[in-house]
Structure 1
Amino acid sequence: MSRLWRSTLPMTIGIMGLLGFNLVDAAFVSRLGTAPLAAQSFTFPLTFLIIGVQVGMGIAIAAIVSRTLGAGEDARARRLGSVVVLVSGGLLALLMVGLWLIRAPAFHLLGANDQELSLIEQYWGPWLVASWVGAMAYVLYSLFRAHGNTRLPGVMMLVTSLLNLALDPLLIFGLGPVPGFGLAGAAWATLIAFVIGLMVTTFKLLQEEWIAVQGLVQEWRDSWRQLTGIAAPAILSQMMPAVSAMLVTAIVATLGQTQVAAWGIACRLETFSLIVVLALTMSLPPWLGRCYGAGRWQEVRRLMNLVARIVIIWQLVLGVVVALLAVPLSRLLVGNEEVGAALVLLIPWMLPSYAFLGICMLVVSAANALGWPLRATLLSFLRLFVCFLPAVWLGAELDGLRGVAIGAAIGNLLAGIVAWRLYRQAIGGLGKPSRGPVESATA
């Protein structure tokens, strides 16, 4: 318990800062008006695509490198770290270029009107560059986590958040000789903060000597099947939320600009409220990966039962408290009364349901670390396209934005129940003589 807490606490503080700046961005942008806030909200689903790829690569690094270290192959772990960092950079760069080229038709399909699209044009270019830099920083953070160092990633995420917080009002609204860039200023503030964070993290990584410069081509030839076998399902399972977010945004867009703006704030509040869960999904896989490499399945059971209890209790308490404070919180986050009233409809239903969403996220992360990538992908699909989306669509049809909130809560509840049942089925008798630890290709 104490070791898990020491690993998770720095990540919790770091993620609090990193996700906090998304919420702060939205709070500042809301002061520009409903249209800029709605325009920023339309970019959130495509941003999920970027996050999906970077998190998938991070999962691959944490799983592969931690398993290799658990097996005592330190030199190979350094080569693998270098290979995954290089592959991640190229893959993410191609994704950014693609998202820039399809920007107009993509945002039109999501429901953005011409006014919102003109605002998105100002924001999307610098935001894509900032996203690439931030994604590369995240990949390096994952390498640190794989080696058991969660302190530096946590510190750097907090530092970049504070830098963004300081730069946001300056670049959005302007001050003295510094002109205000409006919505685009939020992207420029993030880019500057991420560049500084990536530079510091790269320097620290080189000091640790956890990467190699020789033997990388041969390592890629030897390991590409293992890498893609973990990374591809992880990326796919992490990109499914992006597809889901696009579809939900399109559903909410039919309700009006105010509803889209409120939904954008609610999505940022969701990620911020899941800080502890996200920290656990980052700190737990290296531990599970080492247990996997050593065959310590009883320890896996103990860890999973512990973190599941933590997630349920924490998220339920937090959700109820935030729901009770929905009105003052909406006034703090949103400068527009109509958007604030719409946000109040969403919070009481959605926030408590994140206890069950957290269980689902935890099981998906653990499944990738424990050699069950196919189960992780299946679970992500079931959560989004069987439990969540149908409930949200039906809710919107029956009761507008309130129905969307109720549907989302029901979807999260079902996803948590399904996830834990699948985990219990998978863990079964692992560790006993009659069972093997690795999921078969057809599982």
Structure 2
Amino acid sequence: MDNRLSATPQSATSPSLGLTLWRQTWPMAIGVLALLGFQLVDSAFIARLGTAPLAAQSFTFPLSFLVIGVQVGLGIAIAAMISRTLGAGEQERARRLGSLVLVAGTVLIALLALLLWWVQEPVFALLGADTATRGLIRAYWAPQLLAAWLGAALYFGYSLFRAHGDTRLPGKLMVITSLVNLVLDPLLIFGIGPWEGLGLPGAAWATTLAFACGLLVLGRRLLRADWLSGRGLGGELARSARPFAGIAGPAMISQLMPPLAAVLAISVVAGLGETTVAAWGLASRLETVSLMVVLAMTMSLPPWLGRCYGAGDWDQIHRLMKLALKVVMLWQLGLGVVMAGAAPWVALALSGNPEVRDDLATLIRFLLPSYALLGICMLVVSAGNALGWPLRAMLLSCTRLFIFYLPCLWLGAQLGSLTGLALGAATGNLLAGLAAWRMLRRILDRPQRRARCQEGLGPHRPISGTSCNGPN
């Protein structure tokens, strides 16, 4: 990593800084692993039903990612706005913001779920699903959208806790909901004793029940935390709607780009056959699991950066970003190399179909090592929304997908079938990571900011009585 990213002589790998980052990240990493792990387990169980149900589930991923993209974009804005407000010492305003965003977010996701149910037939036909596959999707889609809505409500609650510096409860609840899902999955998919399972829809109902359990626990803790307020919501809405939209709008567009790219990607993959679609679906699940540390840091780091932004402490921001990027690069590259070496055994554990296993092993070998650079891009986009440059973060996200990833994916598929597809996707990830690193270095190392730091002034003077030495 280039030392120019650090604007201060203090080491970016300060033990206290690293320890605080570890304490904030590890609960989220475990939670993300559990949450994404149960999604991978879902796909592994469904794979035992046959290639057709697995392909049907894979066709739903782009639209499921659409819901997730909206909820994550709103969650980013929630964490950024509330953490900045807390960094500036405005406790009562933070309570009002918490109440507003929880209500507005759940209503918006409910409307989106209804829309996706209404347009399912033409959309899945456009993606390449045949009549038989659309029949399987139809039975699965309603409970899956219900699960998505409950999961979004749960995620908004997590964002509120993260904004207040509490990553442990979200991490614990992710583990609890994952365990509940893990227990319910085989019962509802395959049945037990004389009771026949529900098949593919059983996976969605298991997720629905798991998220409902998590919401019950989260709701009780929110009521005790005193982070919500019903006073002055009208005035707060008028005051905060525009700045919130200024963060949430670009953040949602950034998060909606991956689902749109996934729609286009699976259209390319569908041309290679049902077996490849099934393998691509499993690889997509494995991707999110393998990026668990990156995803955890994109949730734990922005609230901390937001507090530093609110307090005007750019020196701490420089040190945090340099440390975080080193961690992401070393962890993700090491994991990618190990997973690539173990690709045949990983594929064997995830699928019983020999053809699907072979295709999945090929995808793992090429894609997993490239996630080191993809992780850097994801971290930079996440940090951008917390540090006051959401438009740049949105443009970076769009560039990653539509300038690098999709063109390389399409070109690879044209040149070399599945192997070319995997190589093209990996090349797109590498180019995106390099572009993100260059953009971050330019933003955080502007000459005028460095000059002010050298003069001992700092980019901003911290607000009196505030601190960003770590979330409370």
TM-score of the aligned structures, taking structure 2 as reference length: 0.91
Q: Which residue of 2 aligns with 1:62?
A: 79
Deviation at 1:176, TM superposition (A): 2.2
- State how 1:23-422 maps to structure 2 within 5 Å: 23-422=40-439
Structure 2: where are the runs of 5+ without partners?
1-17, 461-472
Q: Displacement, 1:86?
A: 1.0
Structure 1 residue 436: deviation in Å?
A: 6.6
The alignment partner of 2:189 has SS state of helix
1:441 alignment counterpart? none
Aligned length: 437
Query: Are the equivalent residues in 1 in contact too, given 2:71–2:152 (CA < 8 A)?
Result: yes
- 8 Å CA contact retained: 1:387, 1:415: yes
In the TM superposition, what is the alpha-carbon distance from 1:177 to its structure 2 partner? 4.8
Give how far 1:295 is off.
1.1
Moved over 2 A (4+): 176-179, 428-437
TM-score, with normalisation over the residues of structure 1? 0.97
**Partner Cα separation in structure 1 for residue 151 and residue 196 of structure 2:** 25
**1:259-303 CA deviation, whole Å, 9 max, x = no partner?**
000000000000000000000000000110011011111111111
- In the TM superposition, residue 61 of structure 1 has moved relative to its aligned partner by 0.8
CA distance in 1, matches of 2:229, 2:173: 23
Over residues 193-239 of structure 1, what are the superposed CA-to-partner deviations in whole Å (9 max), with x where a residue is unaligned? Answer: 00000111111111101111221121111110011010111000000
* Corresponding residue number in structure 2 for 1:440: none
The amino acid of 1:215's aligned partner reads G
Counterparts of 2:239 and 2:452, CA distance in 1? 30
Between the aligned partners of 1:214 and 1:190, the Cα distance in structure 2 is 35
Distance 1:211 1:402 in 2: 52
Mapped partners of 1:432, 1:114: distance in 2: 64
Deviations along 1:100-137, one digit per CA (max 9) or x if unpaired, are: 01101111111111111000001000000000000110
Distance in 2 between the 1:90 and 1:431 partners?
44
* Greater Rg by CA: 2
Query: Amino acid of the residue matched to residue 317 of structure 1?
Result: G
Structure 1 unpaired stretches of 5+:
438-443
Contact 1:295–1:431 under 8 Å retained in 2: no
- Within 2, Cα distance between the matches of 1:81 and 1:436? 29
Q: Is residue 8–residue 283 contact of structure 1 (8 Å, CA) maintained in 2?
A: yes
